[in-house]
Structure 1
Amino acid sequence: MSTRLTEIDGCAAPLPIENLDTDQIMPKQFLRIIDKAGLSEGLLYDLRFDEHGAPRSDCVLNQPAYRGARILIGGSNFGCGSSREHAVWGLQQFGFDAVIAPSFAEIFYSNAMNNRLLLVQLDRSAIDALLHEAEIRPAAQLHIDIEQQTVTTANAEVFSFPLGARHKRMVIEGMDTIDLTLASLPDIEAFERAHFQRHSWAAVL
């Protein structure tokens, strides 16, 4: 049984790149493994390292001020491109528990929530305010209350975000889609019994 996750606290790393796709988040050369091990090394590799494998000093993820950030602030259409859970796993292995952005690609959104990576969608003005604070105060803490669906800044600004009941339960309770289905097993079995009582001829097919 997973520990309930109701709050996320930590500093945020600003990465306001529009249409950041999963091929950039987790390049293809890191997809050759059959498990999740070592994916943090590949996260945003071409942004973090040059052609010689040396760290790029201008990449926010290489800057000491943002080391240990638990929250990533991205641009719109975050996670577009091909469907690969490796992108989600890499973000988590690097230490991120949440991504805040104006919008997310649909498949990436499902993959993230299915793996307990919280995605927070805020409007552009809220994103701009968070980016500004993250850039001028790298150590400033953000507080995400998943149950209340709010993001609170160190300056006590509060932003609300939408989150469907199903995805909210998945993140808080650490459930994936299979867990959700199994949780409904008594209802499924009751439906089957009632169905075959009404249509007994179907039970022998």
Structure 2
Amino acid sequence: MRAISIVTGGAYPWGAKNVDTDVIIPAHWLKTISRAGLGRGAFETVRAQPGNIFDDPLYAGSPILIAGDNFGCGSSREHAAWALTEIGISVVIAPSFSDIFSGNAIKNGIVPVVLPQAAIDRLIEVAATDPITVDLGTMTVTTPFQDRFAFALDPFRRQCLIEGLDEIGLTLARDAAIARYETLAAAAMPWLAVQPAAA
């Protein structure tokens, strides 16, 4: 997982409410366990509509998505986070998130920023013409117009994002301690290390 500290760039000023994971990545894209290629299915039904925001050259490649209440509701599919990362989204800003989506987002290097609707409205206005900055160091979202919105995030999850650590990374970071424990356990309980006889 890539480390995230500061994200500055364009933002999709979408603002849609109750966006479920089937809208983020439709079910027929779930026949794979690979993340590769899921970006092609991201927001497929929205992109089928002429003049949609995701195919607008003005916002192409934006690392931030501004959405409405209850983003990521519906199923628990991790593919939704995978699809977002493949199209380059590192931050989703919304008034609220589904708990499961929020967890999946963080585990896949996406920052879920919760802000009140008034802040969302202002950021949608700014994103039409200017970049937005999300800073995990200061826990703020700022604009070139001196807007400054503070947000909260669980300290452990914040640190995981800053250091780029998912569950595997967290385990590997404790590799030396695990190896020490295994050595001590093998000496104290040698019967646990007995290998089964070959057939």
Determine if contact 2:13/2:66 at 8 Å carries over to the other structure. Answer: yes
Q: Distance in 2 between matches of 1:203 and 1:169?
A: 38
Question: What residue is the counterpart of 1:68 in the other structure?
Answer: 61
Q: Distance in 2 between matches of 1:64 and 1:190?
A: 54
Question: What residue is the counterpart of 2:138 in the other structure?
Answer: 148
Determine if contact 1:66/1:139 at 8 Å carries over to the other structure. Answer: no
Q: What TM-score do you get using the length of structure 1 for normalisation?
A: 0.83
Q: Distance in 1 between matches of 2:150 and 2:137?
A: 11
1:176 aligns with 2:170: no
Question: What residue is the counterpart of 2:43 in the other structure?
Answer: 44
Structure 1 residues 83, 203: closer, same or farther in 2, change over 3 A? farther
Gaps of 5+ in 1: 51-55, 195-199
Q: Distance in 2 between matches of 1:139 and 1:125?
A: 18
After superposition, the C-alpha distances for 1:114-153 in whole angstroms (9 at most, x for unaligned) are 011111111111111111222xxx2401111111111111
The alpha carbon displacement at 1:162 in A equals 0.3
Question: What residue is the counterpart of 1:20 in the other structure?
Answer: 19
Q: Distance in 1 between matches of 2:23 and 2:2?
A: 31
Structure 1 residues 193, 103: closer, same or farther in 2, change over 3 A? farther
Q: Distance in 2 between matches of 1:103 and 1:191?
A: 42
Query: Which of 94, 113, 117 is the matching residue for 2:110?
Result: 117
Question: What residue is the counterpart of 1:30 in the other structure?
Answer: 29
Paired residue type of 1:46: T
Determine if contact 1:118/1:171 at 8 Å carries over to the other structure. Answer: yes
Q: What TM-score do you get using the length of structure 2 for normalisation?
A: 0.85
Q: Distance in 1 between matches of 2:5 and 2:113?
A: 14
After superposition, the C-alpha distances for 1:79-129 in whole angstroms (9 at most, x for unaligned) are 011011111111111111111000110000110100111111111111111
Paired residue type of 1:160: A
Q: Distance in 1 between matches of 2:2 and 2:87?
A: 20
Gaps of 5+ in 2: 193-199
Paired residue type of 2:21: T
Paired residue type of 1:90: A
Secondary structure in 1 aligned to 2:58?
helix
Paired residue type of 1:155: F
Paired residue type of 1:158: R
Determine if contact 2:65/2:93 at 8 Å carries over to the other structure. Answer: yes
Superposed structure 1 runs of 4+ greater than 4 Å apart: 184-194, 202-205
What's the % identity of the aligned pairs? 40
Paired residue type of 2:161: V
Determine if contact 2:11/2:63 at 8 Å carries over to the other structure. Answer: yes
Question: What residue is the counterpart of 1:53 in the other structure?
Answer: none
> What root-mean-square deviation, in Å, do the aligned CA atoms of Structure 1 and Structure 2 show?
2.4
Q: Distance in 2 between matches of 1:189 and 1:183?
A: 12
Paired residue type of 2:162: I
Question: What residue is the counterpart of 2:80 in the other structure?
Answer: 87
The alpha carbon displacement at 1:36 in A equals 1.0
Question: What residue is the counterpart of 2:91 in the other structure?
Answer: 98
Paired residue type of 1:65: L
